[in-house]
Amino acid sequence: MKLNLLFFVRLLLRHAGLLMAMPIILASLVFFLTRDEPKVYNSKARVYTGIASGSTIDLENTKIDFRAANTAYDNLLNLIKARTTIEVVGLKLFAQHMAQDSANLKVISQKKFDALMEAVPEEVKTVVVKGDVEKTYENFIALKNSNHSNYIYQLINLDHPDYSIEKITGKIGLRRISNSDFVDIQYESDDAAICQNTLLILCEVFVKLNADIKVNQSDAVVKYFEKQLTKSTKELSGAEGELLEFNRTHNIINYYEQTKHIAAEKEEFEIKYFEVYRKFHAAKAVLDNLEKKLETHERKRIASGSIMELREELSKLNFDISMETLGIESDSAKVEESAKKVAKMMNQAAALEKELANQVDVLYQTDYNSQSIASTSVLSDWLRNTIDYEGFKAQLKVMEQKRLEFDKLYQKFSPLGATMKRLERKIDIAEREYLSLLHSLGLAKLRQQNVELKSNIKLTEIPFYPISPKPSKRMMLVAVAGIVGFLLVAMTILILEFLDGNIKTAPRAEDKIELKVSSIFPVINLKDKKIDYDYIQNKAVNAISRNVLLNQFKKSDGEKPVVNMLFSTQESEGKTFICQNLIAKLCELGYKTLHVTYDETDIGVNGEHYHKITYPISDQLYKISKVEEFALNGELKNYKTFDFVILEIPSIIKNPFPVKLASTMDYTFLVTRANRAWGDADKNALMLFNEATTGPEPTIILNGVKVLEMETVLGELPKKRSIIRKWIKKVVQFRFFNKTSVA
C-alpha cells in the first residue's frame, strides 16, 4: 500500500455514500435551524484622534514616537471596550428607550418597544421620567447601585441582547485605518435605530471619558507643582526676611562692600598710625634732649604751672582736633559741620601756641644775661618740639582709641560673615528650588495644553441610520456545514484506516507475521461489473501456481512428487478455495496432483490428473509421518507418479497437525485472510508450529486482499473507465505524460 494521492482518493471513494450523506444532513440541519435568522443592521462612526500627527505646543520636539503613538491607540481602543464605558452606554440606551412615551422609529422599533415594556417590572417603570433621558438615567444609576439583585443590575450584567455589557462588547468592531489618526467604530444590531443610537451614545461616552482621564491627569500634576511652588515661595520669602532682619539688626547695607571699605581704612589707618607713632617718639626724643641742655632753673621755669596748663590745654585741643579729623563719617552735612568745628579748634590751637610762645619769651626776658644767649636757641627749639610733641601725642592717643574701635569692628563683622553666608546659602537653595518648581510648573502647564489639544477627539463621520440589513450569511453557513461534514467524515475514515489493525496488504502481513508473502489472492465481488474479476482471478491463480512450479525446480534430487502443505492458524481462512483454484490450474497444465484434505466438499476438479484423499480430523494426525498414511486403504501404490501433492490441514490453533510429517514437507504455505488482525494466539500457534517442525520456513498466501491491491502484482487492473476518469487518474498520480506504447 503506497500512501499517495491515489490511495486517499480510492479510500474516500469506497465511502462515497457516507461522504455525501453527512454533508447533506449537516447542511440541511443548518438550513433548517437558520430559517428564522434575524436581520442584522450595521452602522459605522469614524473619529479623528490626532494622536500621531495632532497639534502640539512643544515646537522643539517635533519627532513622532511611533511606540508611544501605538500605546496611545491601544489605550484608546481598550477604553472604548472597557466595562465602565459599555455599562454607561447600556444604561443610557435603556434610559433613552424607557423615557419614550411610544415607539419612535428613530429610537426603537415597535416590536422591540412592546417587548421591552412587557419585560420591564413596575419597580423600574416607577423611576422613569418620561421625556427626560438624563433624569431617568440618574434614577437608574441609583437603583442599580442599591443592591445586586435588582432588575437593572441583572439587565446589564447578564445576556440581554441590547443592554448587557457582554452583548454590546461582542458587537463592537474597532479598526485603526492604516497608520492614520482615524479610528472606525462599527456596531451591529437587529434593530436599525438601536444600532445607530448605541453607536452615538458610545462615541459620546468614550470621548468624554478620554478627555476626563487625560485632563485630570494633567490637572493633578499642575496642582501639585502649584502647591509646591507656593510652599517654596513662602520658604524663599522667609529666608529673605531673615537676611533683611539680620542686616537691619546689625546695620548692614552691603556687607562685602562694607568689609572691603573697613579693611582699606584699617590698612590706611595703620600706615598713618605708625607714621604718627614714629613722629611722636622722634619729637619726644628731641624734647628730652633739649630739656637736658637747659639749666636746672630753666627746667623748673618751663615746668611752671602756667606753661603746663597751656601744654595740657593744647594737648587736649589737639586731641579734639584729631578726633574730628580721624572720624569715619559719610554724611555730607556732618562732614561739613565737622570741618567748621575743626577750623575753629585750629584757630584756638594757634592762639594757645602763640600764648605758649609768649610765656616762653617772658621766661627768656626774665632770665636774660650775657651767658644765656645760647639757651635762647634751645628754648625756641624746645617750644617748637613741645608743640609738635603735644600734637603727635594727641594724635597717637586718638589713633589708639580708633585702633580699639577697629578691633571691635573686626570682632563684630567676623562672625557676621559666617551667618550671612549661611543665610545667603539658604536663600540660594530656596531660590533654586523655586526656579526649578517654576520651570516644572511651566512644563506641566505646557503638557496640560498639549493633552487638551490631543484629547480633543473629533467625530468626523456621524453614525448613519442603516436602511438595509447586512447580507445574510445563511448560505455561507450551510456551505460551511456541508464542508465541515465532509471533512469530519473524511478525517474519521482516514484515522480509522490508519488505526485499523487488520493485515490488509502484503507489506503489513510480512511486518506483522514476520514471514515472507509468496502470493496474494483478491476478494471477488461479482456484483461489480466494471472490473474483470475472471481475469484478475486467473492472474492471481497463475501467480500462486507459478510459485509452486518454481519450487519444483528448486528440489535438488528431482524426486516426485513435490509436497506442498497449506495450513492456517484460524478457521475459514480460505484454504480450500485456494487449493481448488491451484489444483485446477495444475491439472489444466497437465500435472498429476494429489489432493489430501479433511474437507469432503467437492472442489469441482475431475480427470486423470486429479486424485483426492479425504482424512478425518483426530488426534491420530500427530502420528502420521508420511503422506501415504492419509489413505484409508493403506499405502498409495502410485504415489510416486504424482507431480504435486497438495496437503491441506485444519487450523493449528483448534486442531492437531502431523508434526512428523510437517518436518518432511518440501514447502509449506500459511493461508490467512487480509481482513482480520494478527493476534497473539496466531503468533503463539505459528511459533509452536515452527518449533515443532524442522522443515522449510513457511511463506504466506494472503487471501481476500482488496482488488486494488492486486495492482502491485498485475499493474493497472482491467476496468471500464471513461476518458475523464482516465485523465483524472493520471492527474491524481501525477502521470501527465504516460504513453501506452513506445511510439
User: In Å, what is the CA distance from 743 to each residue of 733, 738, 740?
Assistant: 22, 12, 9
Task: Answer yes or no: is pLDDT of 437 > 70.
Answer: yes
Task: Answer yes or no: is pLDDT of 159 > 50.
Answer: yes
CB 202 within 8 A of CB 185: yes
pLDDT band at 343 (very low <50, low <70, confident <90, very high): confident
DSSP letters for 421-482? HHHHHHHHHHHHHHHHHHHHHHHHHHHHHHHHHHT--EEEEPPP---SPPPP-HHHHHHHHH
**Residue whose grid cell is 494478527:** 678
pLDDT band at 217 (very low <50, low <70, confident <90, very high): low
Task: Answer yes or no: is pLDDT of 568 > 80.
Answer: yes
* Cβ neighbours around 111 below 10 Å, total: 11
Tens of pLDDT, residues 533-563: 777 778 788 888 887 888 777 665 667 788 8
Q: Quick check: helix, strand or coil at residue 670?
A: strand
Rounded CA separation 732/5 (Å): 6
Task: Answer yes or no: is pLDDT of 381 > 70.
Answer: no
CB 652 within 8 A of CB 669: no
The predicted structure's pLDDT at residue 369:
47
User: In Å, what is the CA distance from 650 to each residue of 74, 124, 456, 545?
Assistant: 80, 88, 95, 21
Lowest mean pLDDT among 312-316, 335-339, 581-585, 738-742: 738-742
Mean pLDDT of the chain: 78
| Residue 394: closest CA among 289, 311, 335, 299 | 311
The predicted structure's pLDDT at residue 722:
55
Q: Quick check: helix, strand or coil at residue 528?
A: coil
Rounded CA separation 190/696 (Å): 81
pLDDT band at 336 (very low <50, low <70, confident <90, very high): confident
Rounded CA separation 487/501 (Å): 23
Tell me the sheet residues that pair with 173: 186
Order the strands of the 182-189 sheet from edge to edge.
Answer: 172-176, 182-189, 41-48, 458-461
In the chain, where the domains are located = 1-29+472-500, 30-222+456-461, 255-454, 513-732
Rounded CA separation 591/644 (Å): 7
* Cβ neighbours around 347 below 10 Å, total: 10
pLDDT band at 39 (very low <50, low <70, confident <90, very high): confident
Averaged pLDDT for residues 231-251:
80
Q: Residue 447, by phi and psi: left (phi above 0), alpha (psi -120 to 50) or beta?
A: alpha
Task: Answer yes or no: is pLDDT of 471 > 50.
Answer: yes
- Looking at domain 513-732, its CATH class is alpha beta
Rounded CA separation 395/322 (Å): 5
Q: Which residue has the higher pLDDT, 503 or 93?
A: 93
Tens of pLDDT, residues 639-677: 888 888 999 999 999 888 888 888 888 888 999 998 888
Residue ranges of alpha helices (H) inside 147-254 are 151-157, 165-170, 192-249
Task: Answer yes or no: is pLDDT of 575 > 80.
Answer: yes
Tell me what percent of the residues of the chain surpass a pLDDT of 90.
Answer: 11
pLDDT band at 194 (very low <50, low <70, confident <90, very high): very high
| Residue 426: closest CA among 257, 230, 235, 248 | 235
Beta strand residue intervals within 110-201, DSSP E:
172-176, 182-189
Lowest mean pLDDT among 327-336, 594-603, 626-635: 327-336
**Residue whose grid cell is 510652599:** 231
**Identity of the highest mean pLDDT range in 261-275, 334-348, 482-496:** 482-496
Rounded CA separation 506/351 (Å): 161
Q: Quick check: helix, strand or coil at residue 101?
A: coil
Averaged pLDDT for residues 583-600:
89
Task: Answer yes or no: is pLDDT of 432 > 70.
Answer: yes
pLDDT band at 368 (very low <50, low <70, confident <90, very high): very low
Here the cell at position 702 is: 494472503
pLDDT band at 299 (very low <50, low <70, confident <90, very high): very low
Averaged pLDDT for residues 64-72:
75
Averaged pLDDT for residues 417-439:
82
CB 183 within 8 A of CB 199: no
The predicted structure's pLDDT at residue 330:
47
The predicted structure's pLDDT at residue 374:
47
Tell me what percent of the residues of the chain surpass a pLDDT of 70.
Answer: 74
The predicted structure's pLDDT at residue 163:
92
The predicted structure's pLDDT at residue 197:
93
| Sequence-distant contacts of 51-55: CB under 8 A, at least 24 apart | 51/76, 51/181, 51/454, 52/179, 52/180, 52/181, 53/181, 54/181, 54/453, 54/454, 55/453, 55/454
User: In Å, what is the CA distance from 11 to each residue of 245, 458, 713?
Assistant: 108, 62, 19
CB 257 within 8 A of CB 413: no
Averaged pLDDT for residues 311-335:
63
Contacts of 48 (CB under 8 A, 6+ apart): 181, 182, 457, 458, 459, 460
Lowest mean pLDDT among 44-53, 321-330, 506-515: 321-330
Task: Answer yes or no: is pLDDT of 121 > 80.
Answer: yes
Averaged pLDDT for residues 304-328:
63
CB 192 within 8 A of CB 465: yes
The predicted structure's pLDDT at residue 65:
65
Tens of pLDDT, residues 14-28: 777 888 888 899 888
Lowest mean pLDDT among 1-10, 125-134, 431-440: 1-10
Tens of pLDDT, residues 243-294: 787 777 777 777 677 777 777 777 777 787 788 778 778 777 777 776 676 5
Tens of pLDDT, residues 94-109: 999 999 988 888 899 9
Averaged pLDDT for residues 513-530:
79
| Residue 431: closest CA among 232, 254, 242 | 232
Quote the crossing angle between the two packed helices 192-249 and 66-80, to the nearest 10°. Answer: 120
The predicted structure's pLDDT at residue 648:
92
* Cβ neighbours around 493 below 10 Å, total: 17
Rounded CA separation 103/191 (Å): 12
